[in-house]
Amino acid sequence: MKGEQFGARTVTPIEAIISDFGGVLTSSLTDSFVGVLEASGISLEDLGQAMAAIAEREGTNPLFELETGRMSESTFMGRLSDELSAQLGNRARLDGFGERYFRHLQPNERLIDYMRQLRERGYKLAICTNNVREWEARWRAMLPVDEIFDVVVDSAFVGSRKPEPRIYQITLEQLGVAPDRTLFIDDVDANCEGARALGMQTIRFRSTDQAIADVEAALRA
């Protein structure tokens, strides 16, 4: 199927939509982090400083290691707890962080329903997520993944995370769709930039209404 010609611009029809999970198909990730940390007396700034200190000392960002499956959740939380304790001057406990985090995270039911409608309209659908290996059962339980999505690419299982090119390439390969026939949705600018660099059209998620409107505009084009 060839794209339609509009003046000097060729518009290629969209065949597939790739969506982020956290912050797009769910409520805000920042709100969930704040909700968990407040109970522990830890701020987002504290958390960021602790991860930066570990990254400087060890030469690699511990979050990146966690999200690519090279570090276990227990090791990550242990190192983070130790660093926070040293910085704050009292014992910081992150035991059960994942369980408490998911209690604060809610599915974005409207967007999930919209994705179901897109599938019924014949579009291929994928989730491309930066995630934690040990959290797979929790996040999959939040939505009917296999009912709606043809492909799921989880950074912790493929060893690459957004915005690295490889994770997008894996997703496209599994979908069997060319980049210029693909629409990518994410709430992080850098992740959208990574997708655009490979030739995908992108939508930066800011709200459910905005995202749905932007997707429909892209599909009409």
Q: What is the CATH number of the domain that holds 142?
A: 3.40.50.1000
H or E segment and range at residue 19: strand 16-19
Domain ends where: 49, 69, 102?
102
Express each pLDDT in 1-30 by its tens digit. Answer: 334 333 344 567 999 999 999 999 999 999
**84/172 same-domain check:** no
**139/215 same-domain check:** yes
**174/111 same-domain check:** yes
**120/186 same-domain check:** yes
- How many structural domains are present in the chain? 2
Tokens 């996040």, residue? 139
**19/113 same-domain check:** yes
Give the DSSP letter string of 25-41: TBS-HHHHHHHHHHTTT
**113/142 same-domain check:** yes
**147/95 same-domain check:** no
Domain ends where: 76, 102, 128?
102
Q: Show the tokens assigned to 17.
A: 């939509």
Instruction: Look over the chain and give the mean of its residue pLDDT values, rounded to a whole number.
Output: 93
Q: According to the model, what pLDDT value does residue 7 have? A: 38
SS3 221: coil
Which is it for strands 9-11 and 4-6: parallel, antiparallel or unpaired? antiparallel
pLDDT bracket for residue 108 (50, 70, 90): very high
Across the range 22-51, mean pLDDT stands at 90
**97/118 same-domain check:** no
**19/38 same-domain check:** no
Is the pLDDT score of 187 beyond 80?
A: yes
Is the pLDDT score of 170 beyond 60?
A: yes
Domain of 98 in residue numbering reads as 30-102
Angle, CA of 122, 186 and 98, to the nearest 5° = 110
